[in-house]
Amino acid sequence: MWKYIVVVVLATSCSPLYVPSTRNVPLFREQGEFQGSVYLTTGVDAQLAYAVTDNVAVMTNGSFLRNKISEPEDYTRSNNYVEGGLGFYNVSKNFRTELFAGFGVGKGTSFSQYYFFTQPFSQKDLVATGKYNRIFIQPSFGTNNRNFNLAFTPRISLVDFTEFSSNDNDPINPVVTIKPNEKARLFIEPALTGKFPLVGNLQGVFQLGLAVPVSGDVFFDYVPLQVSVGIQLNTGSLRTRVY
């Protein structure tokens, strides 16, 4: 089973520039709960979340990817992204709902073709680094059980690549930096998240997520499907609110 999961994770880890982060879905029950999670996905994702009151929560997330690529060129593919969010959550006997909104910044390096590098390097695939901002709105609808819980999260992200730089992977060439005249692209990024108890305050977590652009004229490559598996420390995992 685990071998199959690892194969799926690696299969979805190709070389697009935009890598959507794993959705942080706390499903809090009450004030004072804390969660810390680490996922293996297209790289490694780390997440923190805290319930400030019985209805208000905060989160911070990071995505990190770094691997050596040898074909078709030798370069280091990377993706670094951090974000923060503020949210509202509500709990009933059988269900939990939450709504987070936040902002993040990231930078990625990959191998692809970008029309705005045609003049300095000709029309071809090349190694380039892009910087971007992202605004997201993230509602979630989940169950409220002592054991296995499932949540659906239809996240909406506005991704704005503000700057690209490249020297065509040749140290002799000067680095060319271009700010493309492109608007931010809107993505619908739904995900299904499962949580189950392991031991004590530790939970196993898994997530299947999609990234679907609202318009088809996206000028950068992106990861359309992600599988994430991880472990979570959850201080609220041993108690269920009584009604």
Rounded mean pLDDT of 221-230? 96
Residue 180 covered by a domain: yes
Rounded mean pLDDT of 57-62? 98
Task: Please say whether the beta carbons of 58 and 111 come within 8 A.
Answer: no
Residue 241 covered by a domain: no
Question: pTM score, two decimals?
Answer: 0.88
Residue 240 covered by a domain: no
Rounded mean pLDDT of 82-100? 97
Residue 243 covered by a domain: no
Spell out where the chain has E strands: 34-41, 43-51, 56-69, 75-91, 95-113, 125-143, 149-166, 176-178, 185-199, 202-210, 212-213, 225-234
Residue 124 covered by a domain: yes
pLDDT in tens, 145-185: 988 999 999 999 999 999 999 999 999 999 999 999 999 99
The rounded percent of the chain whose pLDDT value lies above 90 is 79
Q: What is the CATH number of the domain that holds 86?
A: 2.40.128
Residue 144 covered by a domain: yes
CA dist 86 and 102 (Å) reads 6
- Looking at the structure of the chain, the number of domains it has is 1
Q: Quick one: pLDDT at residue 146?
A: 87
Both tokens assigned to 16: 């697009």
* Confidence band for 238, pLDDT divided at 50, 70 and 90: low
More confident residue, 113 or 142: 142
Residue 218 covered by a domain: yes
Task: Please say whether the beta carbons of 159 and 180 come within 8 A.
Answer: no
Q: Quick one: pLDDT at residue 72?
A: 83
Domain holding 73, by residue range, is 2-234
Q: Quick one: pLDDT at residue 123?
A: 87
Strand partners, 180: none
Q: Quick one: pLDDT at residue 1?
A: 44
